[in-house]
Amino acid sequence: MDVLSRPAEEFGNDETLEHLWATKAMEHSDIYFNVLCSVDTRWLQITPHDDLIYTHFRQDFPDLDVAFIKENEIKNNTNKAKWRAFCEKFKNIIEDYSFGTLMRADTNGDYSEQNTILVPRVQFYAIEIARNRENMNNEVKKRFKSIHKLDES
């Protein structure tokens, strides 16, 4: 996995690197979803900087409805620039702040092709911290906890 920390210019479109990234992103999404299905998310601490991330997020995006994220709304030219500025605030605070991370668009759903958006890691943190603090992620535990227990048997 050390290869993921090397400069991008060294690789071009290396299929091995893309596979490693996809594997790491899927592992992260699986672990996070299992955590959501296991705890009361209102008290979930994702990073040591949750308070700072949440404060800046709600200052910069006070009206963003985090229950259902529309990819075209967060990635249009205007909001893309706002998000870039937001993310850069955490460049020296959050490790891998810009690493591509999979995020569920709709809090009521699992990770799936239709319900997954690729975002920078700190954007994932901001939206998921808001979802947790604003009590939007506890429904997923009710809906999927029994399903995931069946999968483990």
Whether the pLDDT of residue 150 is over 50: the answer is: no
Return the pLDDT at 8: 62
Phi-psi region of 12 (alpha: psi -120 to 50; beta: other; left: phi over 0): left
Tens digits of per-residue pLDDT, 59-111?
999 999 999 999 999 999 999 999 999 999 999 999 999 999 999 999 998 99
pTM comes to 0.83
The stretch 129-136 carries a mean pLDDT of 95
Confidence of residue 114 (pLDDT cuts 50, 70, 90): very high
Q: How many CB atoms lie within 10 A of CB 88?
A: 12
